[in-house]
Chains A and B, each alone.
Chain A
C-alpha cells in the first residue's frame, strides 16, 4: 500500500511520538506532585526577617510571636506591636526595619508572603496539633536554621495520612523551643536541650509524659497528663491516632 520510505517514516514517527507522550505524561504526573512542585518554595519577604537569628541564636520560643496557636485554627502571624515590643529599642534605626516602623506609625499591616498554603477545601487546625504535643518541626522543618523560610514538607494528603497512621515514625515530639505545654514541668537545666524533643532520653523520667505504646500495631499514644484543675489552662489532649475519615479534614 505505502512505499517502503513512507512506511519507515510512519513507523518512526509513531514510535517517537509515543515516547514523547509517555515521557511527558510521566513528567507531568510526577512533576505536579506536591513534594516536587511545592517543596522549596522560598519567597523573598518584604522584611528580611531571619528565624535563624531569632529562634536559633536568641532562642525566642515559637509561641512568643505566634501566640494564639494554642487556641486558634490559624497560626497567627505576629502583629506589628509584637515586633515593636523589642525593636522600639533594639536596632531602632535599622533601615531593614523601615517597613515595620511605617506600619507601626501609620497602622498599615505588613504584607508578608504566605509560604505554607493548603487548598481551601482542607481544614487544618493548628491548635489540635499543638495540644496533641506535635512539634512545629514536624510540618515546618528546621525553622531555627532557616534565614528565609521555605516550604520543607510536601503538605500533601498522602503525607498527612502518613502521620495520622504512623505518628511514631513521622512526627517530632514537642521540643521546649516550641513552647508547647506538655502538662508537666521541665527540668531547670533544659536550656541546653531546647532543640531536642522533650521525651527523648534526655528527659526520660523527668518530663516525659507521652510515650508510645503498642506503637507497631496501632500507633496509639498514651499519656499520664493530669486532668486540668482550672478551667482556662489549655491542657494537652490525650494524644492518639489522627483521624482517617475524609470528613475530619474535608468539611
Chain B
C-alpha cells in the first residue's frame, strides 16, 4: 500500500514540478505576461532618468509644475504663424485671404487633403462630407448644419472655408493649432472636390439625394 502511495505522490510532484518549470520558463522568456499597475522594477537604474526637462513633463522648478512653458508675450514662432482672426470674424479673413487658395490643385495636394480631411474632419463631417460622421451621431451637433455638400456651404469662398477650419464655427473647434497652414489649404481643395463630385452625382442620378442626410440620431444644436 505505502509503495503505491509513494508512487502516486512522486508522480504528482513530478507533474507539478514540470508545470512550475514550464511556467517559469514561459515567464522568463517573455511569452507569459500579465498586467500590472506598478511601474517596472528597476534593479539597476543606469542613467535612465536624467535631470532635464522632458516634453510635456513635470518640472518642480516652476510654480505650476509644467516643464513646457508658454511662449513669451510678443514673440513669434519660428515655424508657422498664429492664426490672426477670431471665430466669426469672416469678413477680415475674406479680405486678408482675398487671393483665395495659394496652392495649385494637383494630385499630390488632393491626396494630402484627403489624408488630413479624413483624419481631422471625418469624425463629424464623414468621409464624403455629408455631416453624419460617427462622432456626430454621438450627439454632436446637427448633421444638416455639418453637411459640407449643402448649397449654402458650396457658396462659401475658399477664404471662408479656410477661416472656419482655422478658427472654428458654432460648436466646431479651431484647428489652427493642429493643422498647418499648408495642410488647411489642401483640405480646402479637397472639400471643393467633394462638393464638385456631389454636385456631379446630383445631376447624373437625377436628384438621387447625394446631399440629403438620413440621420436617425439625436441631433442637438447649440443655438
Contacts and interface: CB of A to CB of B under 8 A. Distances in A.
> Are A and B associated in one complex?
yes
8 smallest beta-carbon distances between A and B, as pairs: A35-B30, A232-B182, A85-B173, A30-B28, A179-B119, A74-B55, A67-B178, A119-B48
A185 B110 contact: yes
Given A26-B28, A41-B40, A109-B66, A229 B108 contact: yes
A119 B40 CA distance: 12
13 contacts: A26-B28, A43-B39, A44-B37, A61-B119, A68-B178, A84-B173, A89-B220, A108-B64, A121-B48, A191-B127, A229-B104, A231-B182, A233-B183
B135 A58 contact: yes
B106 interface: yes
Interface in B111-141: 111-112, 114-115, 118-120, 122-123, 127-128, 134-135, 138-141
A36 B30 contact: yes
A28 interface: yes
A120 B40 contact: no
Interface string A208-251: 00000000000000000010111111010000000000000000
B41 A37 contact: yes
Contacts, number: 149
Contacts of B41: 32, 37
B47 A119 contact: yes
Interface of B: 24, 27-30, 33-41, 43-44, 46-50, 52, 55-56, 58, 64, 66, 103-104, 106-112, 114-115, 118-120, 122-123, 127-128, 134-135, 138-141, 171, 173, 177-183, 186, 220, 222
Nearest to B28: A30
A142 interface: no
Given A89-B140, A230-B109, 11 more contacts: A27-B28, A44-B37, A59-B123, A64-B120, A89-B220, A179-B118, A183-B108, A185-B110, A229-B109, A232-B183, A235-B108
Interface of A: 26-28, 30-44, 57-61, 63-64, 67-68, 72-74, 76-77, 79, 81-82, 84-86, 88-90, 108-109, 111, 119-121, 150, 154, 176, 179, 181-186, 188, 191, 226, 228-233, 235
Contact of B119 (A63, A108, A228): A63
Given A36-B30, A39-B30, A82-B178, A184 B111 contact: yes
A182 B104 CA distance: 20
